[in-house]
Structure 1
Amino acid sequence: MSAHPSVVVVEDDATVRTVVADYLRADGYDVVTYGDGASALAALASVLPDVLVVDRMLPGVNGDDLCSDVRRRSDVPVLMLTARGSVEDRIGGLERGADDYLTKPFAMRELQLRVRALLRRRVGAAGAGEFTVGPLRVDPVGRRVWTAAGEVTLTSREYDLLLHFARHPERVFTRDELLEAVWGWTFGEATTVTVHVRRLREKIEPDPHAPIHLRTVWGAGYRFVPGGDAHAAR
């Protein structure tokens, strides 16, 4: 078995697929490529990589469907590539479970850095043992989270964001601060944070439409309140 991290690249443009694969291999990854969603779907049913890079606009089984299928059974980090750069399109990919996205055309160096960041957060040192904060029990080593209702299924990026909040209760973070701390971006689309916060609320809040733990601080950002607050604003 290879000691190198594995990356699966799903891209129907042969030139882009080859260049992406070559750059990632040069960065030390074992790379397997697929030119369509159906082939990738069949292969990923049995073996999942450390990171999945998938074009959103694929023939047949598209990137959204592929991401959704993978997300139902794994928290493997997903980097979505898209030729459509509107905020709505990027949000659509994130809503399907993608952890990160790049809008075409993109610099290959940026692709390398995004993949490194996804992998580093997935396999990096946990830094602490299991702990409880408010309604959550968090296992940093196993990257698992429980509420009173049972274990919560999180994507890789959802987990990173929740862990950051859990380790800094009551502190207010702006969206830009969260982008840098959790995504490793010094610039980027702040809507990414909004989407992930909404998804976390759907998984940890008794009523996601009236959150009492993951609160919005209007004009400032977000704050995690372990004890909750019956009068919390959305």
Structure 2
Amino acid sequence: MEKTILIIEDEQQIVEICRDYLQAAGFSVISAADGLSGFDLVWKANPSLVVLDLMLPGMDGMEICRRIREKSSKPVIILTARHRELDKLEGLESGADDYLTKPFSPRELVARIQTVLRRAGNGQGDKNFQKAALQLDRDHYRAILPWGEVSLTPTEFDILAELSSRPGEIFSRGDLLSAARGVSFESYERAIDSHIRNLRRKIDREELGERHIITVHGFGYKYVE
């Protein structure tokens, strides 16, 4: 079935170039030129994936991404003209699955979209995973814990599945990047730190002394039950 990509971008030339490449790759494309109408289309058109510029009139891309994440695990790829590493990491912390820095290759965008959508599909291996108190539901990208359930992005799901598959074992950032199955963060392994922070906000209850994802300084991260 043809998948629909929503592009929220105020530079029409970029939209048209991306549309041409995505349609050639078999996607349907819709677009919005400002943040408010783009955010509205997220829910009205229910696209398979959102390509989101950060600097938009009406509502900026960071705010759109945060609001999407309040209700949905729909895949989001951010486009940014901001070259600072901090800006890229902030985009990931807002809940994006990947990012591209302008100027970018339309072919690379298509490849990133295909990679993220593959992970957001049925996935590889078992769809459901349970280890002690944690249950992972790939069908709905949820983590189910004794106190409740939380929605995860595809990237967060894959990272948590890798960590919890071998409790107590230390995983490097490189290990976790590989677990995300092809997501490219250029040289920024620190992008994993952003996803780890998001996961901790969702599954840890530090106020009750419950911490599942532990930092092992100088080495990486581990999951404890």
Please confirm whether the aligned pair reaches a TM-score higher than 0.5, indicating the same fold.
yes
Aligned partners of 1:198, 1:208: CA distance in 2, in Å? 16
**TM-score of the superposed pair, with normalisation by structure 1:** 0.88
CA RMSD of aligned residues (A): 2.0
Q: CA deviation at 1:26?
A: 1.2
Q: Secondary structure at the match of 1:45?
A: helix
Aligned partners of 1:137, 1:53: CA distance in 2, in Å? 30
CA shift in 2, pair 1:126/1:177, >3 Å = closer
Q: Any gaps of 5 or more consecutive residues in structure 2?
A: none
Aligned partners of 1:207, 1:102: CA distance in 2, in Å? 33
Q: Quick check: 1:223 aligned with 2:183?
A: no
CA contact (8 A) 1:201 1:208 kept: no
Q: Any gaps of 5 or more consecutive residues in structure 1?
A: 227-234
CA shift in 2, pair 1:90/1:20, >3 Å = same
CA contact (8 A) 1:126 1:140 kept: no
**2:144 alignment counterpart:** 146
CA shift in 2, pair 1:141/1:38, >3 Å = closer
Aligned partners of 2:53, 2:89: CA distance in 1, in Å? 15
Aligned partners of 2:83, 2:138: CA distance in 1, in Å? 34
Aligned partners of 2:127, 2:94: CA distance in 1, in Å? 31
> 1:25-104 maps to which residues of 2 (within 5 A)?
25-104=23-102
Q: Give the ranges of 4+ consecutive aligned residues of structure 1 lying more than 6 Å apart after TM superposition.
A: 208-211
Aligned partners of 1:211, 1:173: CA distance in 2, in Å? 20
> 1:1-234 maps to which residues of 2 (within 5 A)?
3-128=1-126, 130-182=128-180, 184=182, 185=184, 187-207=186-206, 212-226=211-225
CA shift in 2, pair 1:156/1:150, >3 Å = same
Q: CA deviation at 1:210?
A: 7.0
Identity of aligned residues (%): 37
Q: Which of structures 1 and 2 has the larger relative contact order (alpha carbons within 8 angstroms, sep 6+)?
A: 2
1:174 is aligned with what amino acid?
S
CA shift in 2, pair 1:80/1:183, >3 Å = farther
Aligned partners of 2:217, 2:50: CA distance in 1, in Å? 35
2:206 is aligned with what amino acid?
D
**1:231 alignment counterpart:** none
Q: Secondary structure at the match of 2:71?
A: coil
Aligned partners of 2:200, 2:115: CA distance in 1, in Å? 24
Aligned partners of 2:180, 2:128: CA distance in 1, in Å? 20
